[in-house]
Amino acid sequence: MAATATACCGSSSFKANFRANRRNGTDSSPSSTLASSPSSSRLSFSSRVSGCSLRSQRSVPSLRMANSGNPDQVVLASAKAEPPLRIMISGAPASGKGTQCELITKKYDLVHIAAGDLLRAEIASGSENGKRAKEYMEKGQLVPDEIVVMMVKDRLLQSDSQEKGWLLDGYPRSMSQATALKGYGFQPDIFIVLEVPEDILVERVVGRRLDPVTGKIYHLTYSPPETEEIAARLTQRFDDTEEKVKLRLQTHNQNVEDVLSMYEDITLKVKGNAPKEEVFAEIDNALSKLLESRKATSESLAA
């Protein structure tokens, strides 16, 4: 919340000098004194600036001048002090991570960043990183961590991510990726892990089907197709078999354990086999408490 302080000048001679200086092209107003001070300077409950008493409700961490149209009055307002949310979320295939990302992004207006989507977008745009990644993919090779990390780093540095905050989806996936991001200065406020029993994950994955016409994902048990026509054209991913999904889960679990060691102090583990509304309620509650804690700390420091 922006704090304000009003310069109250009780001396008539000050007012006369103030107006004379404005006419002569000079300025000995309070604003000129403030402009020469660092933006991080603080105003105490009663400060003196060019002979004026500045009275405020609390100290102001960052100030800007607002022209009220009255030369006898200067209004100071604080810039936004609270940093945006920075979230990482991890979940096994079919854990419901995509659904929770949508809900989190919508509620908190964050920039959603998924490494896979980012990789495809970089290749489509023909960027330098995209060209390098494409060379490996055309050879049937995995894209090296250093290329993907650079893509993620560049996206996190874009203005919308810096201003609105970000939700990093399914990344980092290994200790080396987490270490690289930390080396670039990217540290999340919270690391969310969706935990779902393996038998439920296998059932979810094996029953998944794709409509090649609309791109919609169905599940034979939980979200069956609306018509027989749609059911007839559904396809299954080649790796959505029980044998292959168990191998993917094994790899995922090992990678998550490695990454968690980097973020164990800020990890939130959520049971992902509950209804999506309940899962989100738990995540939302944790994020709300995080923001409340930040606000309380900020107000305490400013008091």
- Of the candidates 155, 204, 208, 209, the residue annotated as catalytic is 208
Q: Which amino acid, one-letter code, is at 142?
A: L
Q: Is the dihedral of CA 248, 181, 104, 274 positive or negative?
A: positive
Q: Which of 80, 237, 271, 295 is catalytic?
A: 237
Helix (H, G, I), strand (E, B) or coil at 76: strand
Instruction: For 51, list phi and psi in degrees, rounded to 5.
Output: 80, 0
165 and 110 in contact (C-beta within 8 Å)? yes
- 216 is a catalytic site residue: no
Question: Which one is catalytic: 164, 244, 248, 294?
Answer: 248
Query: Measured between alpha carbons, how far is 165 from 24 in angstroms, rounded to an integer?
Result: 46
Residue with tokens 């892990």: 193
Separation of alpha carbons 63 and 266, rounded Å = 32
Q: 37 by DSSP, 3-state: which?
A: coil
Active site residue 97: yes
Q: How would DSSP label each residue in 194-255?
A: EE--HHHHHHHHHTEEE-TTT--EEETTTB--SSHHHHHH-B--TT-SHHHHHHHHHHHHHH
Closest CA to 256 of 112, 144, 89, 114: 89
Length of the chain: 303
DSSP state of 40: T
What is the C-alpha to C-alpha distance for residues 88 and 190, in angstroms, rounded to an integer? 7
Query: Is 208 designated active site?
Result: yes
Nearest Cα to 95, choosing from 256, 233, 212?
256
Instruction: Please give the distance of CA 124 from its chain centroid, rounded to a whole number.
Output: 24
Catalytic residues: 97, 173, 208, 237, 248
